[in-house]
Amino acid sequence: MFDTEPDSTEVETRATNDRLPRGGVRSESVRVANLSTILRCLHFSGPMSRSRLVEETGLTRSSVAALVGELSDAGLVSEHAATPNGYPGRPSPTVAVNADRNMVLAIKIEVNDIAVAIVGLGGEVLYRIRVDRYRDLATVEQTVTDIATLVADAHAAVGNAPLLGASVAIVGLVRRSTNTLVIAPNLGWSDIALGDLLQHATQLDIPFAVANEGDVAALAETRRGIAVGQSHVIFLSGEVGVGGGIVAGGRVISGRGGFAGEVGHMPVNPDGLKCGCGARGCWETEVGVRSLLRRTGRKPDGGPAALDEVLQAAAEGDADVLQALDAQGDWLGTGLAGLIHIFDPEMVVLGGMFRRVYPYVIEALQRSLTDRLLATTVGDIDIVASTLGEDASLLGAAELAFEPLLNDPLAFALR
């Protein structure tokens, strides 16, 4: 369940320990770290017995009992009588998170749709709603108003119970420290205090964290999706733009301001097309939705309906469409080769539109990788389609909203 092989090759450049304050370990921080470990364990892996918690955490039996007691007093977990397991001795009771008393709000904003969910501790989706939207209507004001309506419905559906927090995944570059959208070229938005706007519109007295959808989707894939247990993962999300989220050494990299992972703007073709960002020949001009529509002779701005049409034609064996998908796969492999040289991943997860074209591009993609990879062979890397699909960024937003609680359970518990 946990990554039991620590990344012995990764070396910290400084003396601080990220989980514990100021380098030195004092007893109060030990208690917080241990509460955090127990709660993470249950949140990531589901209900388990106290004995299993002892095994998983390396803590003593009495420590686990005391820590579970504290989490239980805070309403975060409950203990349930164990079902007899046929072995002699008294079975250990099962500990589980209280999903319905510890909920967060998750929101995603993409080019073609918005979605809202209420997610319980442990990752259970308690309520979800998704609506299509169209680019012409996508003003910030309208979007915020629409989301506030969806949020009110969702919150009512769970009895307007108190929420731990909220998080928004969006297809754009986000300054995490201020929860501001800096720029979303494919929405045409820039400099939006999105966290504040949504908090105001929803009238909810909880923090709204804003994050890049690729980053949180990568988080979701490693916690809830196909990449569980992997420490080195490249997540690629293809839509109009191409986003990414990178997990290196068990952490989603964010960079200084939260802008890391913008793999769509790798320069791959000096003679290429003009990109939404203003530069020429960025990777997304060769592998995004528009390039696929263009390659099949369709209008690049055809949207989801045109993409559906292309996929339908591919399923029916349309030779021109299959050739266009082959070219798409070749360019996917070219850029991916660069990323594999940079990150040396265990797994590449293809999400968004890439998940849907996967069966038609994988052969050309692997051929292109084989031509380019230096020390790694294609067979060494799992190149897989996302299993979370459209939900990845929504589930990732929920995970992000749970982070303060997971890091310091008693400080952020509702009571």
Contacts (CB under 8 A) with its own copies, residues 92-131? none
CB of residue 318 vs its own copies: minimum separation in angstroms?
Answer: 26
Q: Which of 129, 182, 384, 385 binds its own copies (CB under 8 A)?
A: 182
Closer by beta carbon to its own copies, 112 or else 407: 407
Contact call for residue 69 and its own copies (CB under 8 A) = no
- Give the H/E segment covering residue 233: strand 233-238
d(CA 44, CA 52): 14
Cα pseudo-dihedral 333, 335, 339, 342, rounded to 10: 120
Neighbours of 159 (CB within 10 A): 7
Distance of CA 114 to the CA centre of its chain: 16
26 touches its own copies (CB under 8 A): yes
Using the minimum distance from each CB to its own copies, give the nearer residue, 41 or 314. Answer: 41
Verify binding: residue 316, its own copies, rule CB under 8 A. no
Both tokens assigned to 302? 């055809």
Closest CA to 71 of 57, 86, 90: 57
Site for its own copies in 192-221 (CB under 8 A): 219
Task: Pick out residues in 360-399 that bind its own copies (CB under 8 A).
Answer: 371-372, 374-376, 399
Stretch of residues binding its own copies (CB under 8 A), selected from 1-9, 90-98, 120-128, 383-391: 1-9
Closest separation in Å from C-beta 152 to its own copies: 28
Cα angle 276, 277, 283 (rounded to 5 degrees) comes to 80
H helix intervals, 123-258: 140-157, 194-202, 213-223
Near its own copies by CB under 8 A: residue from 16, 142, 323, 377: 16
Residues 29-58 close enough to bind its own copies by CB under 8 A: 30, 33-34, 36-37, 40-41, 44, 56-58
Binding-site member from 50, 108, 176, 290 for its own copies (CB under 8 A): 176
CB of 221 to its own copies, least distance (A): 9
Nearer to its own copies, 127 or 412 (CB): 412
Q: How far is the CB of 382 from its own copies (least distance, A)?
A: 11
Phi, psi of 258 (to 5 degrees): 105, 10
155 vs 290 by CB, closer to its own copies? 290
Q: Compute CA 291 distance to the chain's CA centroid, rounded to the nearest angstrom.
A: 25
Query: Packing angle between helix 303-315 and helix 353-372, nearest 10 degrees?
Result: 60
Spatial distance between the Cα atoms of 32 and 46, rounded to a whole number of angstroms: 21
